[in-house]
Amino acid sequence: MFDAEIGGSVPIPFGNEEFKLTVRADRIECLSDGRYAILDYKTGAPPTEPQVRTGLSPQLTLEAAILRNGGFKDIPEGASVAELVYVRLRGGAEPGEELPIKFKEGTPDEHADHALARLTGLVARFADPGIPYFSLLHPMWTTHYGTYDHLARVQEWSLTGGENEEEAGE
């Protein structure tokens, strides 16, 4: 049994309100042992195991968290995820290639729970008006500018090393 393009969501507390994480999974399969496999189709290079494990590419682990928390219709709360799989699609003689995420440590369920806990913590930080919103959190991206980084004045601030005018003695 499988579902394709299935929507799901899970509520996350946001101060006195609620943030709803909503996804559309490419494909979810119920395996013969009753656990589930979540598949995501990619035409480009899929994320690597370290990128998924460390949270740089949390799509599949968050979809798994939604599944485990009963956020997909017809899938019971507490269901287990056996596999997270990227399927690389391309034209040619070999149209598709399955690339399962094989975690160095832990299970897909554990990584799903961890990803949801991290997102819940992040949402809690955003609910606190005393916490600033940073435009670049990861040093590996300080030289790669996105489409909207000019609005945050990323290049301008990176030239000063993060000092403001008062700290620079102006």
Tokens of 58: 């949390």
Among the residues of the chain, which ranges form H helices? 49-53, 59-68, 108-127, 154-159
What integer pLDDT is reported at residue 168 of this predicted model?
A: 44
| DSSP secondary structure letter of residue 141 | G
Half-sphere exposure of 47 (CA within 13 A, CB side): 20
Helix (H, G, I), strand (E, B) or coil at 90: coil
Question: Could you read off the pLDDT tens digit of each residue along the chain, which spans 170 residues?
Answer: 677 899 999 999 888 899 999 999 999 999 999 999 999 999 989 999 999 999 999 999 999 999 999 999 999 999 999 999 999 998 778 888 999 999 999 999 999 999 999 999 999 988 888 888 776 665 555 555 566 666 666 666 666 555 554 444 44
Interatomic CA distance for residues 147 and 3, integer angstroms: 35
pLDDT in tens, 109-134: 999 999 999 999 999 988 888 888 77
Task: Supply the angle between the helices 108-127 and 59-68 in degrees, to the nearest 10.
Answer: 100
What integer pLDDT is reported at residue 149 of this predicted model?
A: 65
